Amino acid sequence: MTPIKLNKDQIQKIVLSVIGFIGLIYCYFNFFLGPLNRSRESMNKTIAELQAKTASSKNEIKKTDNLETEAKQATGRYEAFKRTTAEGAPIAWFPPKMRTFFSNQGIDKGNVRLESSADFSQPELSNWLKDSWVIDLPQSDYGVLGRAIAELENTEALTSVQKVSIRAIPDVPQYQQVALSVQTVLVKK
Amino acid sequence: MALQLNLLHEEITEERQRKRDPLKLGVIALCFFGAILFVYYGWNAYQTLQIKGQLNAAQAEWNAVEPKTTAAQKRAIELHQIIDSTKVLDGLIEGRFYWAPFLAIISHCVAPNVQLTVLDGSIAEGDHSIAVTLEGVAAAREPRAAAEDLRQLLIEQLEKKYSTPKVTFKNLEDLDTLVNVSGVPTASARFVLSINLNPKGAEPTNANEPAKEAAKPK
């Protein structure tokens, strides 16, 4: 085999071809295959993230469903508590309600006034209001009063009697003058 | 041996040189290699398109799940709030002091020769302890003893329902005036009793159980 003798022109052409080849490789990897691979990797990463988020979300939805089932009793109780607050301002409906209540128990001429209204310090009760009322019952029989307070304590769960003041009426010994300080827990409207 | 003359020597040499032209060979190799790279690129592009399809599917699934998740998160927060609020409200309800049973005990302890004139009771803000003041008049041959009997009876009865009740006299004084007890003039004493008790263990009364009348006319 005879050795290939390359002349100057041929060497130039070979050098040109090698440069062209290097340029092709460079362009191919940098401008075509590189971006494509980067895009593919990015999409793979996004898919993995989305799948993880979707799985986590499905898990969360399932947990919420379970919580809903578990909290059914609490939700029912909460709704019942909320229903104890009537529509409108408490000063408009609570005094007539108490007057009617005591009247039904046989204690007439009751007078109810709002003493104070405040928020609860507990963050769980941020939607609830603590109202203090004074109920004056100018003439009441002790036994009737006892039954009325028992009825109030048993039927109005969110009402608590904070102070009781019973004074005998000198001229009418069978009756007492009563002042009750009552605290109510009402939904903020 | 015949003499062979190659008259086309130069043309053949040129032809050979043209055939092994490095530029031409390089272009052919480049084209061949370029074709391989193109096919490889095509294969990669096809895979990328497939991945894009998967991405679109994942995105569509996420788009479908996301609103439900947001709603579920809101509902979970709401449910936790409801559960916590209900617990605190239940605590408030269970921590109430029921006055009706207390008033019933007082009425059971008051004898016919004792009249209560004032009952003031309140719940302390901090420890929820109960402080009650009872004022009244006791009439008997030994009126102070009658008042003491009331105090003892109150302790005995309150101990059954409440923990550590304390019943103490704040004041006990003989009165100069005589009062009629069943038509008999009797000596009397005015007393002020202080009752302190812990409401733990208190239970609501049945509303049908009537509290007996305490203050009875002499």
pLDDT tens per residue across span A11-54: 887 788 788 888 888 988 999 999 999 999 999 999 999 999 99
* Least confident residue range of A17-26, A68-77, A180-189: A17-26
**Which pLDDT value is given to residue B218?**
34
In this structure, the number of other CB atoms found within 10 A of the CB of residue B198 comes to: 16
Contact yes or no for B146/B113 (Cβ under 8 A): yes
**Which pLDDT value is given to residue A131?**
95
d(C-alpha A182, C-alpha A103), whole Å: 17
Tokens 């439900």 appear where? B68
Q: What residue in A sits closest to B55 (Cα-Cα)?
A: A47
Mean pLDDT in chain A? Answer: 91
**Which pLDDT value is given to residue B210?**
40
**Which pLDDT value is given to residue B204?**
54
pLDDT tier for residue B217 given thresholds of 50, 70 and 90: very low
- A40–B contact, CB cutoff 8 A: yes
**Which pLDDT value is given to residue B209?**
46
Interface list for B 127-156 with A (CB within 8 A):
none
Q: What one-character-per-residue DSSP string does B13-72 give?
A: HHHHHHHT-HHHHHHHHHHHHHHHHHHHHHHHHHHHHHHHHHHHHHHHHHHHHHHHHHHH
More reliable by pLDDT, A118 or B30: A118
pLDDT tier for residue A3 given thresholds of 50, 70 and 90: low
**Which pLDDT value is given to residue A114?**
95
Closest-CA distance, A124 to chain B, in angstroms, reads: 5
**Which pLDDT value is given to residue A170?**
84
The amino acid at residue A129 is: L
A147: CB partners within 8 A, 6+ apart:
A105, B100, B207, B210, B211
A175: left (phi over 0), alpha (psi -120 to 50) or beta: beta
More reliable by pLDDT, B34 or A67: A67
pLDDT tier for residue B203 given thresholds of 50, 70 and 90: low
Rounded average pLDDT over B56-78: 93
Rounded average pLDDT over B60-76: 93
More reliable by pLDDT, B95 or A189: B95
- Is residue B133 over pLDDT 90? yes
Rounded average pLDDT over B14-18: 76
**Which pLDDT value is given to residue B205?**
53
Q: What residue in B sits closest to A171 (Cα-Cα)?
A: B217
* From B29, B87, B204, residue closest to A154, measured CB to CB: B204
Closest-CA distance, A98 to chain B, in angstroms, reads: 17
pLDDT tens for residues B175-202? 888 888 888 888 999 999 999 998 765 4
Rounded average pLDDT over B29-58: 91
Q: How many C-alpha atoms does B176 have within 13 Å on its Cβ side?
A: 0
Q: Which residues does chain A have within 8 Å of residue B118's beta carbon, measured at their own beta carbons?
A: 165-168
The two three-digit tokens of residue B187, written as one number? 């000596």
Percent of chain A residues past pLDDT 90, beyond the cut? 71
pLDDT tens for residues A84-134? 999 999 999 999 999 999 999 999 889 999 999 999 988 989 999 999 999
**Which pLDDT value is given to residue B208?**
44
Rounded average pLDDT over A50-75: 92
- Report the run of H or E that residue A136 belongs to, with start and end: strand A128-140
- Is residue A155 over pLDDT 50? yes
pLDDT tier for residue B154 given thresholds of 50, 70 and 90: very high
* Least confident residue range of B4-8, B105-109, B208-212: B208-212
Tokens 């990897």 appear where? A29
The two three-digit tokens of residue B210, written as one number? 């009537």
For residue B37, give the nearest of A160, A26, A187 by alpha carbon: A26
Phi and psi, residue A163, nearest 5°: -140, 145
Contact check, Cβ <8 Å, B72/A168: no
For residue A179, give the nearest of B95, B143, B122 by alpha carbon: B122
* From B37, B65, B215, residue closest to A28, measured CB to CB: B37
Q: Give me the residues paired with residue A33 across strands.
A: none
Per DSSP, helices labelled H in A28-89 are 34-70, 72-83
- The secondary structure of B145-209, three-state, reads HHHHHHHHHHHHHHHHHCEEEEEEEEEEEEEEEEEEECCEEEEEEEEEEEEEEECCCCCCCCCCC
The CA-CA-CA angle for residues A11, A13, A15, to 5°, reads: 70
Interface test with B, best of A105, A142, A158 (most B CBs within 10 A): A142
Please classify residue B94 by burial: count the beta carbons closer than 10 Å to its beta carbon, then call 0-12 exposed, 13-18 middle and 19+ buried: exposed
Contact check, Cβ <8 Å, B65/A124: no
Q: For residues B47, B50, B51 and B55, what is the CA-based torsion angle, rounded to 10 degrees?
A: 170
Please classify residue A168 by burial: count the beta carbons closer than 10 Å to its beta carbon, then call 0-12 exposed, 13-18 middle and 19+ buried: buried
- Is residue B23 over pLDDT 80? no
* From B20, B29, B82, residue closest to A78, measured CB to CB: B82
**Which pLDDT value is given to residue B10?**
81
- Is residue B216 over pLDDT 70? no
**Which pLDDT value is given to residue B33?**
84
d(C-alpha B8, C-alpha A44), whole Å: 66
Closest-CA distance, B17 to chain A, in angstroms, reads: 10
Contact check, Cβ <8 Å, B211/A163: no
For residue A42, give the nearest of B48, B80, B43 by alpha carbon: B48
For residue B44, give the nearest of A49, A74, A37 by alpha carbon: A37
- Is residue B207 over pLDDT 60? no
Interface list for A 83-142 with B (CB within 8 A):
122, 124-125, 127-128, 141-142
Mean pLDDT in chain B? Answer: 85
Rounded average pLDDT over B157-173: 91
**How many CB pairs lie under 8 A apart between chains A and B?**
222
Q: What is the DSSP letter of A84?
A: T
